[in-house]
Amino acid sequence: MDRAGVRLAPSRPTGAKTIPAPRKMKYFDDKGRLRPELLDGEAEAAAQAFASVSSTQLRRFYEHVLSLERRLRLECDRNQRESEEEVFARLRPEVKMLKAKAIYAKGRDGKLPEHFVQFFVDHDASIETARDFEAFKKHFEAVVAFHKFFGKD
């Protein structure tokens, strides 16, 4: 930030690494129902793109998602005066950490496919509500299931 409190854009040297631009995901159809393709064809395509990612690494990310879901349920049960969306709003920063963790993993292991980082960048930009998070969790569960078939281990 400069002295006036204005956030400055980070300068990047020519040829510097960049984070992929997010593409907004669509979890629900026009009637508000979960899109079946999300759990089938799109999940299968993601699993194929992640074939070189170890199942251990993919499961580590999925376990983080399951942990967040458990915390959401626990907090909702504990504090019934708050709506699920209010509780989710507190957990939202931790959902956003998935993107940072994917970028870190890519930086540590340059062999990770770019699709892996793009997946988390896209979903990070798309998850806005607890309902979106639940749809993402189901999609990711399907990706993990398909990955068992397509993965390298």
Q: Which residues have C-beta within 8 Å of that of residue 144, sequence separation ≥ 6?
A: 47, 58, 59, 62
Structure tokens at 10: 């980070």
pTM over the 0.95 mark? no
Task: Give phi and psi for 104, each to the nearest 5.
Answer: -60, -45
Collapsed DSSP state (helix, strand, coil) of residue 28: strand
Domain ranges of the chain: 56-150
Structure tokens at 93: 């920063």
Per-residue pLDDT of the chain (153 residues; tens, 9 = 90+): 555 555 555 555 555 788 999 999 999 999 999 999 999 999 999 999 999 999 999 999 999 999 999 999 999 999 889 999 999 999 999 999 999 999 999 998 778 899 999 999 999 999 999 999 999 999 999 999 999 999 877
